[in-house]
Amino acid sequence: MQVESSKARTNRCVPVEQWPESLELLRTLASGEKPMSVRDLSHDVNAPEISTRNRLIRLEALGAITASRAVSVLAPGKQVVCTHYVITQYGRDCAGLRGQAAGTIQRVCVNSVFALAQSMNLRC
């Protein structure tokens, strides 16, 4: 009798800036004209805030995005200081947005590394 073991697929062999979740974050940042907070980004990509925060930290370490502290208004008279993120040129390059205006960005649905490479016109 042969027992099949099923291993969960991970992103360990893929660079952080090429993860489908990271690409979604980069495209969301590229489509906006102003810096976005973690809460806004997590809402836009339908991901938990903690996962979004961890991905943003990794992307910032690579130089794909930059973070800055800014004041946000929660309600009239209630202001907080939080981190806002902006995409860099390297982030645009990673997202495959070279030479594209913010209004012409197309969203790519990617569910595998091979589909990602095909959508980015890469050859394996």
CATH number at residue 87: 1.10.10.10
Amino acid occupying residue 117: A
Mean pLDDT over residues 35-56, rounded? 90
* pLDDT at residue number 107: 47
As given in the structure block, the two tokens for residue 76 are 């009239």
* pLDDT at residue number 113: 61
As given in the structure block, the two tokens for residue 68 are 């800055």
**Nearest Cα residue to 16 out of 62, 77, 73, 65:** 62
**Nearest Cα residue to 117 out of 26, 22, 17, 18:** 18
> Which of residues 99 and 113 earns the better pLDDT score?
113
Looking at the structure of the chain, the number of domains it has is: 1
As given in the structure block, the two tokens for residue 121 are 């016109």
- Does residue 45 sit within a domain? yes
* 62 has pLDDT over 80: yes
- Does residue 50 sit within a domain? yes
Name the band, by pLDDT with cuts 50, 70 and 90, for residue 75. confident
Structural domain boundaries enclosing 56: 16-119
